A and B are shown apart, each in its own frame.
Chain A
């Protein structure tokens, strides 16, 4: 279908863009449009005004800093996926992004747009939570940094105020010698995940877990860090009983009810399987990283 009537503005300064948002309760930000435009074509979204931020200076580019990767608001998925500096300091990002829709969509859709859309099944919000990243939101009264765990509130709902624009996201680098892994269960390649799991894991000299982060998407109303599972794995040598304990500790995090695709029980089983696989893959990579250095 075609979108219904709306107004369109393409401001060239952030101040103008923020004023436009502040002046219209039904205005929305347009960046890549790869989620917003389908929703508008379906008439599931009927904004009164689109504020196209693509012509605003300073919203482009990726910068790799000492402790994080700064991704500006207009950076397309594919730019981040193919960035060699990013692949060096955080290869998990490219691995997860293979699952974000298809290349033509990744060419247009933006990373920050995906974060702000906050689909609980989406990969980018999961990555931000898994890595412990943050976003910078700019509003009428200035900028504020919002940690990933505070940013995602519920289905399609974030801590961003209506008159704020998220101008950048910060994804932390992986710890030195850490292993990483991401995979998901999905009905068709490129779909939103039924369940997705990411893992970052470090081993000490005797192959015991010295640090681990686990997070999942598709299991609740937002991406979830699996802290109980992390606690069950920390300090262990990743024996079968340790992994079983980690899975058992994570099952209560699955709160997404049965839906048209799968049951809640299916999501629990998929989560358990993915935890097993992702911890194993991350541990193997951590071992390789430890061996070569």
Chain B
């Protein structure tokens, strides 16, 4: 069965473009992007930082969570143009340059806080951002569940993730 194909060469869409400059993992990047480009796609497609995962694209799953000006936020609910001038941190910046894991990552490893790993970058960035706040941590089961409530894991790994948060607090001297 043949499929009807358009003969014309593909052309760029009529998207409005804008120049953006932001700091990603400490490095200033400048690109001209479609104004409708989501920050999540900007990180993955323009910068090749594919550690930020894209799940639902409406803010529910939490996979795309990055630090936006130091605070966890959804990169799928932020336009790249909106982030003009912002400081962004992604999972790629979390481990040390020599590969030594950050305590939050180490805790996930020790506690088996991941199976497939799809939700893990968002989990780690959310937890990391919360740990970097000065606000006291609630390390009760309820408090940790509240912290994780915006990140979905489909591998049923929550109990180990809760353990990982508690272990991370130990490793960071926050427990």
A residues bordering B, Cβ < 8 Å? 1-8, 10, 30, 33-34, 37-38, 41-42, 50, 52, 54, 78, 82, 98, 101-105, 107-108, 189-190
Number of residues in B with C-beta < 8 Å to the partner?
34
- On whether the beta carbons of B58 and A189 are closer than 8 Å, the reply is no
A52→B73 CA distance, assembly (Å): 18
Closest to A5 in B: B15
B residues bordering A, Cβ < 8 Å? 13-16, 18, 35-36, 38, 41, 57-59, 62, 65, 68, 71-74, 76-79, 81-82, 84, 126, 129-130, 135, 146-147, 149-150
With a cutoff of 8 Å between Cβ atoms, the chain B residues found around residue A102 in the complex are 62, 149-150
With a cutoff of 8 Å between Cβ atoms, the chain A residues found around residue B71 in the complex are 78, 104, 107
With a cutoff of 8 Å between Cβ atoms, the chain A residues found around residue B74 in the complex are 34, 104-105, 108
- On whether the beta carbons of A104 and B62 are closer than 8 Å, the reply is yes
Closest to B62 in A: A104
Closest to A78 in B: B71
Partner of B18, one of A8, A54, A104, A190: A8
- On whether the beta carbons of B59 and A34 are closer than 8 Å, the reply is yes
Closest to B135 in A: A82
With a cutoff of 8 Å between Cβ atoms, the chain B residues found around residue A101 in the complex are 59, 150
With a cutoff of 8 Å between Cβ atoms, the chain B residues found around residue A8 in the complex are 16, 18, 35, 79, 81
With a cutoff of 8 Å between Cβ atoms, the chain B residues found around residue A34 in the complex are 59, 74, 77
- On whether the beta carbons of B58 and A38 are closer than 8 Å, the reply is yes
With a cutoff of 8 Å between Cβ atoms, the chain A residues found around residue B58 in the complex are 38, 41-42
A31→B79 CA distance, assembly (Å): 11
Of all A-B residue pairs in the complex, the 10 with the closest CB atoms, nearest first, are A102-B150, A8-B35, A38-B58, A104-B72, A107-B71, A37-B77, A108-B73, A3-B36, A41-B57, A38-B59
A160→B36 CA distance, assembly (Å): 26
A75→B13 CA distance, assembly (Å): 35
Shortest CB-to-CB span from B13 to chain A, Å, is 7
- On whether the beta carbons of A189 and B146 are closer than 8 Å, the reply is yes
- On whether the beta carbons of B77 and A38 are closer than 8 Å, the reply is yes
Closest to B122 in A: A104
Are A33 and B135 CB-contacts (below 8 A) given A102-B150, A108-B68?
A: no
A23→B153 CA distance, assembly (Å): 45
- On whether the beta carbons of A104 and B73 are closer than 8 Å, the reply is yes
- On whether the beta carbons of B82 and A30 are closer than 8 Å, the reply is yes
- On whether the beta carbons of B59 and A2 are closer than 8 Å, the reply is no
Q: What are 20 A-B pairs at a CB distance below 8 A?
A: A5-B13, A5-B14, A6-B16, A6-B35, A8-B35, A10-B81, A33-B77, A34-B77, A37-B59, A37-B79, A41-B58, A52-B82, A82-B135, A103-B72, A104-B72, A104-B73, A104-B150, A105-B74, A108-B68, A108-B74
A245→B38 CA distance, assembly (Å): 52
A189→B60 CA distance, assembly (Å): 12
Shortest CB-to-CB span from A13 to chain B, Å, is 17
Q: Which of B73, B130, B135 has the most CB of A within 10 A?
A: B73
Shortest CB-to-CB span from B63 to chain A, Å, is 11
With a cutoff of 8 Å between Cβ atoms, the chain B residues found around residue A189 in the complex are 146, 149
A107→B66 CA distance, assembly (Å): 12
With a cutoff of 8 Å between Cβ atoms, the chain A residues found around residue B147 in the complex are 103
Shortest CB-to-CB span from B57 to chain A, Å, is 5
With a cutoff of 8 Å between Cβ atoms, the chain A residues found around residue B35 in the complex are 6-8, 50
With a cutoff of 8 Å between Cβ atoms, the chain B residues found around residue A103 in the complex are 72, 126, 130, 147, 150
A119→B119 CA distance, assembly (Å): 29
- On whether the beta carbons of B78 and A108 are closer than 8 Å, the reply is yes
A8→B81 CA distance, assembly (Å): 8
Shortest CB-to-CB span from B26 to chain A, Å, is 21
A15→B147 CA distance, assembly (Å): 40
Shortest CB-to-CB span from A41 to chain B, Å, is 5
With a cutoff of 8 Å between Cβ atoms, the chain A residues found around residue B59 in the complex are 34, 37-38, 101, 105
